Structure 1
């Protein structure tokens, strides 16, 4: 795994009273071409109509970004395709596209940015704002009352840098209430700078959530528009190892212990038998942790040297469900599943050590041993982490 990680995440709050958002964010990684594309689109108005328009724009931008067509030409195609509001004479949707290219060793991370009618993106080196050169192109469309401007820029990002994109629900929050002119981009920039100063290692998930919550607070906790913030952060990876299932032979227990001791990152042990083996290897006692409990899953345990100890199959299955359905962490009950998911979402590289000793209680006799339930669940976890959350995962058997 690489020693540099591109951490991309977003947070969103719908307009008060709406059950569907007019802001749409799409995120995709193409490992074959070493490319990540982030697309944020804001449909005119709110609700279903705005969502349809924003979804159309975002998906079009996303597809074109992965095509051989030049990104600038792609933006013109999108704009010419977008309808113009008959009454207001403005586009039905806005968009921001961040096309991120990198080499296999994660060096030379290059960003091509296209911005149309969304608030201008912000860049930071640590807590200090960065300004950069942008090229402007004007496009006169039929039925539009004025020429429209698309801004293009290209730059390299290094470790410690952040790129922040957001919809006008952020920059216009507080308009006419706490702030006569709204929060504005300058206010967002100042707030982000202060947040990074107080917590230099704040993750993209935490930072985007903080921006959105602040904007909602400025709106009096009654959002006047869809509020969306996206953060791209270049940093050293945060690592987690998940150990589940006892090794195939008892002789391999010592190998497992050495792998856990040598791992530089967070450590999760999932499974009662596995926990007993690790407890013996580490000469550490297992204590039940009743601080996080729910009737749905067995409680977690505490062990010196291990960040989280949980029951096995049931807990792992619940974690996989949460990840696959993209359930909000804040809405989960305070139980081991929530703790497990929080650690995974705060990690960049997750390594699975899967024991191959079969537990007859969890094995269907009608299917071959090599595709047992434990490995199926681990496969689901890896798929969700890689495809939905763009995490890097690896796996080994013992």
Structure 2
């Protein structure tokens, strides 16, 4: 039986020196059953390269998500891309990675990008590549099965060429990157972001902070999922308070309560009392609470609304979160660290927050949560929404 795994996808790009736009582009999509990742490297740099790479990724993702035959997809994009008459190469290269969440199988299609990197148990694993001609162009492919702890990565040539003209005649090179990655795993890599940032930061050093070419690395690390449940708002049927409190407490993952009444429902069920952390109180937000078996307790609507603002302001980048410790920032951090988020939303109306212009069945809380859910899904978060 295939164990429950999370496909942790992340990418990081460096723009060529003095260029506002990156000539490399990455796009990925996720469903319950599969993930699709596309990396495209536009010829040259700047606006032209960025447009070519963007078009390539968009076309590939759209066709692959429509479940069109892979051969047809490749023929379409290869036939669409023009050839540079000077260099006799395509105006955009690409790497496609498809991941089956049910079987853990991966399939890689590579057109003129560097070979893929696969690490198993922290060691580079050799892959057997097949080459075929499609419209007179060589297309390389490989496939295999991923297990927990494996890492699969793809790079644009700007990563490999780092150091060119300095200490290495031919840049950093594939083999040196592979050895560097093995060293990262010796220090207990736990997520894609850490692995990829180490690689790209080393690339930047080898360029001596003068980036000679757009450089991108994208990868997927297979790890244990990090689920999160957020219980907010008292249930419509008060006789089911204990049922939903138990649903939260039995959840296998991080647990958050947003709302004073909701917190009291859970605390009463447990026979406990919520303790307030006065140090986290501010002019804008009430303090957070502490309750055994629950990872975070905050005020409700105000905190959720502020957390949404924080997420937008930091552009879903956890490294850009404010350092201040309040309910909104702590809630935003929990959301960013989670892979999947289960919202359990009570529909009992709090008249204090209710907009008199809205029908009674459309609460401020419900509208806020639905906006947040859509925002999270736009950033590839897996979200389940249940009303109670």
TM-score for the superposition, normalised by structure 2: 0.86
Q: Which position in structure 2 is the counterpart of 1:87?
A: 86
2:374 matches 1:395: no
Q: Deviations over 1:95-146 (max 9, x none)?
A: 00112334xxx2x2332211112121111223122222111134676xxxxx
CA displacement at 1:82 relative to structure 2: 1.1
Q: Which position in structure 1 is the counterpart of 2:45?
A: 46
Q: Which 10-residue stretch deviates more, 372-381 or 179-188?
A: 179-188
Helix, strand or coil: the match of 2:361? helix
Contact 1:320–1:380 (Cα < 8 Å) also in 2:
no
Q: Distance in 2 between matches of 1:246 and 1:134?
A: 56
Q: Which position in structure 2 is the counterpart of 1:187?
A: 176
Q: Which position in structure 1 is the counterpart of 2:262?
A: 274
Structural mapping, 1:15-30, within 5 Å: 15-30=16-31
Contact 1:27–1:36 (Cα < 8 Å) also in 2:
yes
Q: Which position in structure 2 is the counterpart of 1:4?
A: 5
CA displacement at 1:239 relative to structure 2: 1.2
Structure 1: unaligned runs, 5 residues or longer = 142-147
- CA RMSD after TM alignment: 3.0
Structural mapping, 1:240-319, within 5 Å: 240-248=228-236, 251-282=239-270, 283-288=272-277, 290=279, 300-319=288-307
Q: Distance in 1 between matches of 2:133 and 2:386?
A: 54
Q: Which position in structure 1 is the counterpart of 2:55?
A: 56
Contact 1:28–1:37 (Cα < 8 Å) also in 2:
yes
Q: Distance in 2 between matches of 1:159 and 1:317?
A: 36
**Residues 182, 347 of structure 1: alpha-carbon distance in 2 compared, 3 angstrom cutoff:** same
CA displacement at 1:65 relative to structure 2: 2.2
Q: Which position in structure 1 is the counterpart of 2:122?
A: 127
Q: Deviations over 1:69-91 (max 9, x none)?
A: 43244323322321222333322
**Residues 17, 123 of structure 1: alpha-carbon distance in 2 compared, 3 angstrom cutoff:** same
**Residues 191, 356 of structure 1: alpha-carbon distance in 2 compared, 3 angstrom cutoff:** same
Q: Distance in 2 between matches of 1:191 and 1:369?
A: 59
Structure 2: unaligned runs, 5 residues or longer = none
Q: Deviations over 1:45-72 (max 9, x none)?
A: 2221111010111112223323454324
Q: Which position in structure 1 is the counterpart of 2:15?
A: 14
Helix, strand or coil: the match of 1:241? strand
**Residues 187, 284 of structure 1: alpha-carbon distance in 2 compared, 3 angstrom cutoff:** farther
Q: Distance in 2 between matches of 1:247 and 1:140?
A: 60
Q: Distance in 2 between matches of 1:253 and 1:227?
A: 53
Structural mapping, 1:194-273, within 5 Å: 194-200=183-189, 202-248=190-236, 251-273=239-261
Contact 2:263–2:274 (Cα < 8 Å) also in 1:
no
Contact 1:323–1:381 (Cα < 8 Å) also in 2:
no
Contact 1:203–1:346 (Cα < 8 Å) also in 2:
no
Q: Deviations over 1:177-230 (max 9, x none)?
A: 454432222222222222233225x12233333332332233334433333222
Q: How many residues align?
A: 382
Q: Distance in 1 between matches of 2:158 and 2:278?
A: 41
Q: Distance in 1 between matches of 2:344 and 2:360?
A: 18
2:333 matches 1:342: yes
Q: Which position in structure 2 is the counterpart of 1:145?
A: none
**Residues 328, 221 of structure 1: alpha-carbon distance in 2 compared, 3 angstrom cutoff:** farther
TM-score for the superposition, normalised by structure 1: 0.84
Q: Distance in 2 between matches of 1:322 and 1:39?
A: 29
